[in-house]
Amino acid sequence: MSETEVLKTPLHGLHLELGARMTPFAGYDMPLQYGLGILKEHLHTRDQAGLFDVSHMGQVALRPRSGDIADAALALERLVPVDILGLAEGRQRYALFTNRAGGIEDDLMVANRADHLFVVVNAACKEVDFAHMQTHLSDACEVEWLDGRALLALQGPKAEAALAALAPGCAAMRFMDVSTLNVNGVDCVVSRSGYSGEDGYEISVPEGAAAGLARALLEHEAVEPIGLGARDSLRLEAGLCLYGADLDPATSPVEASLTWAIQKARRTGGAREGGFPGAERILRELAEGPARKRVGILPEGRAPVRGGAELFADEDGGAPIGSVTSGAFGPSLGGPMAMGYVAATHAATGTPLFAEVRGKRLAVQVADMPFITPGYKRN
């Protein structure tokens, strides 16, 4: 892609038809908001159901050359500190590409589709990620770019009802299940997952059928189109990271408070200990603790604290002990919220800190995340 070229998803025409305010994002012309506006779109998703276009993200199939899915799983484990071999058929797991220094190159989702692994990566990283997988996995896998597919996310407590009207089988799925379902007359790869903190689904659909599926979902009385603005505030309330803001190549999974994503099998003493890039640092930090940690931050006032704001232990003087990586107003929370990194000595919940905003230090407090109670269907 040239520097001046702006890409469009298969739903671009529908966004314009629906009156979306568009914005450039990761090289694509994407909807920032629709007629409801960001605040109402956020609250509608929490209360009913929102439909998001996430077709800018990358979709990849890893097909084992041997025909044995275990070989694809073991190959991918060379690149991630995650138990892929133990991922059951029809299940999905969060994973991280790490580098030799133990930092995070991208975060991704991996699903076991019985005869291949289905991988979804971030839009801004997808070309680099695909090349990374080709370089390191081609001996064991055919690395296939699924460029003829769109991706929709249906999120919110009424997502099940809306999707079940088109695909009744979705109701039996639980959080992180993945299945092939006929949706609106088209076979789709559906996962019960998302990026909002709510129950919901992500639907991989052939690009030619994407607009028709989106229109069919929007016909349900509970569903409204939702843009990137509300997507960001929803994920921040849910304590979910945004790559490039909260995660980067210098930050380890342990610093990022993502140790839950590193299963026992890949840790020290596990069945397949280490063997991933940066294992020495990551396993050491798991044992000894990191020097800094990602934490939730709640400002005491009403003023928002945005990404880039430095954090201090004292109201006056002293060197910064951390910084904010994401910050916004939380419509469901009813106030400002943020996340960022602080020295481990100041990472305990309830620790009072100060954020520097326009030359003034505002009182904030380290807080638990997520800021809302997630609505995932686990049973």
* CA dist., res. 75 & res. 132, Å (int): 12
Task: Specify whether the CB–CB gap between 17 and 31 falls below 8 A.
Answer: no
Residue 239, φ and ψ in degrees, nearest 5: 70, 25
The answer to whether the peptide bond before residue 370 is cis (omega within 30 degrees of 0) is: yes
Per-residue pLDDT tens digits for 74-101: 999 999 999 999 999 999 999 999 999 9
If residue 13 lies in a helix (H) or strand (E), which one and from where to where? helix 12-17
| Cβ neighbours for 269, distance < 8 A, ≥ 6 positions apart | none
At 245 the pLDDT is 98
Which has the closest alpha carbon to 149: 96, 207, 199, 101? Answer: 207
CA distance 160 to 169: 10
CA distance 208 to 144: 19
What is the model's pLDDT at position 3?
54
In this prediction the pTM is 0.96
Q: What's the distance, CA 52 to chain centroid?
A: 13
The residue whose two tokens read 């138990």 is: 83
Confidence tier at 5 by pLDDT (50, 70, 90): confident
Which among 18, 92, 5 is positioned nearest to 53, based on CA atoms? 18
Q: Is the pLDDT score of 2 beyond 80?
A: no
- In this prediction, residue 332 has a pLDDT band, given cuts at 50, 70 and 90, of very high
Measured CA to CA, the distance from residue 296 to residue 121 in angstroms comes to 25
**pLDDT confidence of residue 1:** 45
Q: What domains can you pick out in the chain, each with its CATH number?
A: 12-52+148-237 (3.30.1360.120), 291-373 (2.40.30.110)
Percent of the chain with pLDDT over 70: 99
Q: Is the pLDDT of residue 68 over 70?
A: yes
* Tokens (6 digits) for 160: 């099940």
Beta strands per DSSP E along 34-103 = 49-53, 58-64, 92-98
> Concatenated DSSP letters for 174-211?
-TTBEEEEEETTEEEEEES--SSSSSEEEEEEEHHHHH
Tens digits of residue pLDDT in 116-131: 999 999 999 999 999 9
User: pLDDT tens across 350-371, in order?
Assistant: 999 999 999 999 999 999 999 9
Is-contact 213 51, C-beta < 8 A? Answer: no
| Strand order across the 200-206 sheet | 178-183, 186-191, 200-206, 149-155, 49-53, 223-225
SS3 29: strand
Per-residue pLDDT band at 317 (split at 50, 70, 90): confident
What's the CA gap between 232 and 264, in Å, rounded?
31
d(CA 280, CA 30): 40
Whole-angstrom Cα distance, residue 296 to residue 240? 10
Closest CA to 239 of 338, 45, 327, 370: 370
Give per-residue pLDDT as tens, 135-144.
999 999 999 9
> Do the strands 117-121 and 58-64 form a parallel or antiparallel pair, or are they unpaired?
antiparallel
Decide if 197 contacts 370 (C-beta within 8 A).
Answer: yes
Report, in angstroms and rounded to the nearest whole number, the Rg of the chain calculated over CA atoms.
21
CB of 25 within 8 A of CB of 56?
Answer: yes
Nearest to 232 by CA among 61, 367, 88, 54: 54
pLDDT exceeds 50 at position 289: yes
161: tokens are 């009802």
Tell me what the pLDDT averaged over the chain comes to.
97
